[in-house]
Amino acid sequence: MDSEALLTFVTIHQAGGFSRAADLLGRSQPAISRRIALLEEELGVPVFERAAGGVVLSQAGRALLPHAERVLAALRDATNAIATLRTETAGHVSIVAVGTLAGTNLTAVLKRFVADHPKIDLSISTATSAEVSELVRRGEAMIGLRYLLDTDPDIVCEHIASEPLVVVCAAEHPFAGQRLDSLASLSDERWFAFRIAYDQRETFADNIFAQFQARGIAEIRWTPVDSLNAKKRLIEAGLGIALLPESAVEEELRAGSLATIRLADLDVANPVYAVVRRGGYLSPATRNLLALLRSAPRLAGKPVS
């Protein structure tokens, strides 16, 4: 099997069908169908099965996928390594981060990196923590920033910061700006949290539930809200409160549209990890960006304790 066949196979899987994959690859659908047919002929087993609305991996396809992704990532490494030899001060560096981390503290680091490496093509994208690891594992991003440790053996995680979480309320809330003795004082409030989805949610989505349970309170009133911006607007309207990353509400706190409620018995933070692919090639510029991320004093709101 050759790299083009593996690229076609992985693209079809990611796109969910042959037609979309053909568009992404800039080829005709018959051409990629033929490429997969040749791959299946070589392997002696089908790699896709028809399903409602598209195709899914067969058992053989599921077995092939991680190996195909590693091969494609290694080829990208080879291309990047050779490009670095040709132009040590130029090239491409890509970083993917959880959206709530892509704030002013991270942009300050990236601004410094661009100033130090004016010929580097820097790209940044946002994703959930699980997606961050997946993009790095596949070699589609060189550095990832995510919440919580990823134990995938293909990923190397380094704890570089902690993201403080704060109780956020409307500016007109009776407890706005106050310090209370216990979180239990807020057990009757309406809380907003991300919808419970174990494969995609960020950790702070259900931290508040664990905090109440630790205090012997089994249930609270809460409403699932999938959008961080929607959650902030609902809180501004006085419709509820939430436990949110401090960096995610910095602008609203400065503007006075949101406030915080300090609690004597609540001091929580999410660990932030930089992730790279184990054994993957890191150009000098990529290593420099990692060093800047490690040394940033306020990447996620406060230094690592």
> Is 244 in contact with 168 (CB distance < 8 Å)?
yes
Torsion sign, CA atoms 186, 187, 188, 193 = positive
pLDDT at 305: 35
pLDDT tens digits for 76-91?
A: 877 777 776 556 555 7
pLDDT at 182: 94
Q: Which two tokens stand for residue 37?
A: 């047919």
Distance CA 143, CA 272 (A): 13
Ramachandran class of 198: left when φ > 0, alpha when ψ lies in -120 to 50, beta otherwise: alpha
**Please, what are the domains in the chain?**
3-71 (1.10.10.10), 87-161+270-295 (3.40.190.10), 163-269 (3.40.190.290)
Distance CA 168, CA 211 (A): 15
How far is residue 247 CA from its own chain's centroid? 16
pLDDT at 96: 96
Q: How far apart are the first and last CA of the chain?
A: 49
Q: What is the value of pTM for the model shown?
A: 0.66
Distance CA 180, CA 163 (A): 22
Q: Which residues of the chain have pLDDT under 70?
A: 84-90, 104, 196-206, 297-305
